[in-house]
Amino acid sequence: MLSLSVATFRERWQLFVGAIITVTLGVALVQSSLLIVVSAGDHGEAIAVLGLALGVSTFLAIFIVSSTFAFAIAQRRRDLALFRLIGGSRGQVRRLLLSEALLLGALGTVLGVPVGLVAMSAQTSLLASLGFLPDSFSAEWHGWILYVSAGIGIGVAQLGVLAASRRASRVPPLEALRETGTAAKVMTLSRWFVGILLLAVAITLMSISTAVDSPNGAIPLSINSTLALALGLSALSPVVVPLVGRVTGSLAGTTTLGGLARANLRDGVRRSASTAAPLLILVALVIGLAGTFDTLSAGAQRQLADDVHGDLVAAGPVPPGTPGVASASAEYTLSIKVTTVSYGDEETDDVEALAIDPAAYQQAHRQRLVAGSYADLHGLAVAAAGGDLGSTVRIRVGGREITPRVVAVLPPKLNGGPEYLLPRDLVPPAALGPARSIVRLQPGADAGAVAAALPQPVSTLDDWIAENDSAQDTLNAGVMKVVMGLAALYAVIAVVNAVVIAAGERRREFAVARLTGFGRGQVIATALLESSVVTVTGLGLGWLAALATLIGISGVAGTMVMPWGIFWLTVLGAFLVVGATSVWTSLTATRPTPISLAGTRE
């Protein structure tokens, strides 16, 4: 069976190029991410980013390999029927395809290992430039990674072909005898099942995430529901894409070419679905993730604006009796070590905290406490975000170990700001970090004059809130860059692959159109029109999936931000890639004289 696979592979390599590149990339990314993770040890943020990259690249690789195989197998139905007709059993058809996937996986591994070394240095410098790793960092090579790489390469390929091979083995032998193979049913029972199941999962996750009030719970729920929704819609794409395509197809107009493009779209369900699905996933992932982070940061900003009550923010304590100042809350940032005990394991974390004067703090902050009261915040006491009122925490601050009682519980913060408020007199002066003062002016005081007398630099409250937020975004932006870059890369491979395979199948169709009187330019224009409608459909569905995610996350953030900038950038990129590929492939397919193609089969 393997030698037959080798032969098929040599003959039909164009069908597999996309899948090989995908596996190569998957192997390279998993290998480099793993090697960096192993060497990164205690750089937690880098490991988190890499973990996300690992998950996304494995997932997308399997997804693309499986859609490539599904499409490639649909193209080979006649071959497979013939194989059955001359005595191949169902099991042999499956083995044939599995060994093709084995070859593909092996090839992907061989190419992926060296590419992984390049990826490793690229990833390391990217992570270093984002500040997640020290500049001196370099990952070590481990011999065992070769086994992992081979396992990933071959495993991804085998997983990808599994479903398609089961379907292929059901091709009836009679199809080899028919002039035109009966169009295979695109929407299979398992597609319905998987699609509906994933949609149900997505809806469940989404409704849970609107009910959750902590961002730590809502973010993973929302990201997972984006994934489920995108996958569910792409499983249902043979139903959804033509349906939506009927609406977007009206963009093609009522001209002759537009009419033909619409008819082709109705006819080539598999083709349209294969092109639209990766675009759908791309937009859902990119807009869903970017929107989630934007929404959360907008929510955090709003939370801060709602909480802080004042006119100016000064960079230091304000001496009492400064003219024009009604009240000033001096807040010192400091880092403390908090030891928690869970299930008998002691765990100590570095945590951000604020040292405050409770009375002044209350003047400057309107945030309602979940439980307890600021009035109790004196002596051996703290206010904590989360935790139970009346419980004690072990805190190490300025070299002193203290065990204060929680007397006030703060609501959870969206931006991961200070988790503890300590009374100023509990903290040794040496441990106090930089201070800021939130200043309220006396009625009628001149803001400019008062500001000049305050510790510099002084900013207005609005400016300070806007500034405060951007620092927090760096981590998010880094994660976004990594994930979006990967998603875009895979989507481009999948889309180009689908367009190329589809055009190969249409050589004869194009030739017949030209013999019927279409000019070469008209054929190319029709193909371009078709792929544009498919692109609009895929992008639109992806946007809907992202929107649903953002509605989910808006529950916890209290606001919603649609990242239009990134969206239009993605739209532009998608049209460029699909349009260019479509024109290029239809140009190639129409190069020979039409009569030489119209007579040939396949």
Partner 1 sequence: MITTETHVDAAVELRDVIREYGSKQARVRALDGVGIGFARGTWTAVMGPSGSGKSTLLHCAAGLDRPTSGQVLLGDRELTAASERELTALRRKEIGFVFQSFNLVGSLTAEQNVALPLRLAGRKVSTKEVRAILSEVGLGERLRHRPRELSGGQQQRVAIARAMITRPSVLFADEPTGALDSRSARTVLGLLRSLVDGSGQTIVMVTHDPAAAARADSVLFLSDGRIVDHLTRPSTRQVADRLAVLED
Site string for partner 1, 145-184 (x = CB under 8 A): ---------------------------xxx-xx-------
**Residues 583-602, interacting with partner 1 (CB under 8 A):** 601
Of residues 126 through 145, those in contact with partner 1 by CB under 8 A are none
- Name residues whose C-beta falls within 8 Å of residue 121's C-beta, 6 or more positions apart in sequence: none
CB of 170 to partner 1, least distance (A): 10
CA distance 357 to 484: 44
506 Rama class: left (phi>0) / alpha (psi -120 to 50) / beta: alpha
Given a contact cutoff of 8 angstroms between Cβ atoms, the answer to whether 313 and 466 are in contact is no
CB nearer to partner 1: give 7 or 572.
7
Least distance to partner 1, CB of residue 81, Å: 9
Residues binding partner 1: what is the number (CB under 8 A)?
23
The distance of closest approach from Cβ of residue 92 to partner 1 in the complex, given in angstroms and rounded to an integer, is 6
Residue of 7, 183, 452, 515 that binds partner 1 (CB under 8 A): 7
CB of 175: closest distance to partner 1 in angstroms? 9
* CB closer to partner 1, 173 vs 416: 173
Provide the minimum distance between the beta carbon of 98 and partner 1 in the complex, in angstroms, as a whole number: 16
Closest to partner 1 by CB, 92 vs 415, is 92
Cα–Cα distance list, 448 to 27, 134, 311, 444, 445 (Å): 60, 42, 11, 12, 9
List binders of partner 1 among 87-126 (CB under 8 A).
87-90, 92
Q: With respect to partner 1, which residue has the nearer C-beta, 8 or 570?
A: 8
For residues 533 and 582, is the Cβ–Cβ distance under 8 A?
no
Rounded to 5 degrees, what angle do the CA atoms 554, 558, 561 make?
55
Q: Does residue 8 belong to the site contacting partner 1 (CB under 8 A)?
A: yes
Q: Which lies closer to partner 1 via its Cβ, residue 92 or residue 322?
A: 92
Nearer to partner 1, 63 or 83 (CB): 83
For 257-302, give the secondary structure using H, E and C: HHHHHHHHHHHCHHHHHHHHHHHHHHHHHHHHHHHHHHHHHHHHHH
Count of C-beta atoms within a 10 Å radius of residue 256: 11
CA distance 554 to 566: 19
Task: With contacts defined by CB under 8 A, name the span among 66-74, 77-85, 346-354, 506-514 that binds partner 1.
Answer: 77-85
Q: Which is nearer to partner 1, 10 or 368 (CB)?
A: 10
Phi and psi (nearest 5°) for 456? Answer: -85, 160
Please, what is the minimum distance in Å from the beta carbon of residue 512 to partner 1? 18
Stretch near partner 1 under the rule CB under 8 A, chosen from 20-28, 51-59, 75-83, 346-354? 75-83
Q: Are 285 and 233 in contact (CB under 8 A)?
A: no
> Whole-number minimum distance, CB 11 to partner 1, in Å?
3
CB of 597 to partner 1, least distance (A): 15
The answer to whether the beta carbons of residues 370 and 397 sit under 8 Å apart is no
CA 108, distance to chain mean position in Å, is 24
Q: How far is the CB of 103 from partner 1 (least distance, A)?
A: 13
405: closest CA among 378, 370, 369, 429?
378
Region from 9-17, 437-445, 496-504, 556-564 binding partner 1, contact rule CB under 8 A: 9-17
Give the other-Cβ count within 10 Å of 50's Cβ. 24
Structure tokens at 229: 């929704």
**CA 79 – CA 404 distance, rounded (Å):** 76
Q: Which residues bind partner 1 (CB under 8 A)?
A: 4, 7-8, 10-12, 79, 82-90, 92, 172-174, 176-177, 601
